[in-house]
Amino acid sequence: MTFEKELKDHYFHGHEKYLRHISVDCVIFGFHDNELKVLLLKAKYAGKWALPGGFILKDEHLDDSAKRILKDRTGLDKIYLHQFYTFSDPNRSTKKINQQFLRNIGFKGGKSWMFERFVSVGYSALVDFTKVKPIADNISDACEWFKVNEVPEMILDHRHIFEMALKNLRLQLNFQPVGFNLLSKKFTMPELQKLYETILNKKLDRRNFQRKIMSTGILVKLKETKKGVSHKAPFYYKFDLIKYSKALKAGLGF
């Protein structure tokens, strides 16, 4: 089946496979080169970028649909997921953009379930950047990482969804295993501080940060130091997962 025929079948018969009126949009965060980044797709024929998303199979749990979409785009499973908001504004209708999309690929007329109103459930994901293999879907030309402060123009209300996910990440820093999911298994104190600074978009006092994070008891200092640095080599740390999990339940107070 050609791409055009496959797409036409999805637009006009997809409701036989998926639930109507509800979709999933995923905001995938990664941390690389001391920068917080988000994974985006470039929508074919639209010339704009979009969040990875999709629909819910009729016999599928909502969370499982998000896991499936994330695995398709990143190649990873067992990803940390957080359902952060439901987007139900009537004005977020996908009818106009889907009609334009069909015209751009040569289809005219027809009544599609994709022209109907959709409510979208937003999920945020925290992934290890080094393990992700970005994979574009069949309606996208590219799948790439962007710095969170350099996000390009996006379709529909995807910019709003992204901003809500980032806001929620900042608010939930004390209750989500941000460091464990975004950093490597071992990391330096400057790398951990930079992660928090990037998410919060502000500078933190070094000594105050170190004192507070060490007071939580969630870090284990290793004997190994970082190699190849010009100044005093910082020690590596890792998370004590038992203490980390316990601390998150009460909130790090950090």
Residues 219 and 114 both lie in one domain? no
Ranges 51-55, 134-138, 248-252: which has the least confidence: 248-252
pLDDT bin (cut points 50, 70, 90) of residue 58 is very high
- Nearest-5° angle of CA 79, CA 169, CA 192? 80
Asked which of 151, 171, 191 is the last residue of a domain, the reply is: 171
243 shares a domain with 165:
no
Which helix (H) or strand (E) covers residue 168, if one does? helix 158-171
- Chain segment 6-34, per-residue pLDDT in tens: 677 777 777 889 999 999 999 999 999 98
Which of 11-20, 107-116, 241-250 is predicted least confidently?
A: 107-116
The reply to whether 142 and 207 lie within a common domain is no
- Residue 248: pLDDT band (50, 70, 90) is confident
Least confident of 24-33, 121-130, 156-165, 167-176: 167-176
Output the DSSP codes for 172-214: TTTTS-HHHHHS-SSEEHHHHHHHHHHHHTS---HHHHHHHHH
CA distances from 224 to 141, 181, 239 (A): 43, 21, 15
Are 139 and 64 found together in one domain?
Answer: yes
Q: What Å distances lie between residue 245 and 125, 126, 175, CA to CA? A: 18, 16, 9
* Burial (Cβ within 10 Å: 0-12, 13-18, ≥19) of residue 41: buried
Q: What is the mean pLDDT of residues 58-73?
A: 93
Q: Is the pLDDT of residue 1 over 60?
A: no
CATH code, 70: 3.90.79.10
pLDDT of residue 168: 93
Please check whether residues 115 and 226 belong to one and the same domain. no
Please indicate, yes or no, whether residues 18 and 125 belong to a single structural domain of this protein. yes
Mean pLDDT of 78-106: 81
86 shares a domain with 27: yes
Name the band, by pLDDT with cuts 50, 70 and 90, for residue 4: low
* Nearest one of 117, 198, 199, 122 to 160, comparing CA atoms: 122
Residues 45 and 157 in one domain: yes
Range of the domain at 217: 179-250
> Residue 2 has what pLDDT?
61
Of 115, 132, 177, which Cα lies nearest the Cα of 40? 132
Q: Are residues 124 and 36 in the same domain?
A: yes
**Confidence (pLDDT) at 226:** 86
For the domain that residue 206 is a member of, what is the CATH number?
A: 1.10.10.10
pLDDT for position 9: 76
Question: Of 136, 171, 206, at which residue does a domain stop?
Answer: 171
Do 220 and 129 have their domain in common? no
Strand order in the sheet with 187-188: 187-188, 235-239, 219-225
Which of 132, 100, 96, 131 has the alpha carbon at shortest distance from 116? Answer: 96
- Which of 154, 171, 188 is at the close of a domain? 171
Largest CA distance in the chain: 68
Q: How confident is the model at residue 109 (pLDDT cuts 50, 70, 90)?
A: low
Query: Residue 254's pLDDT is what?
Result: 65
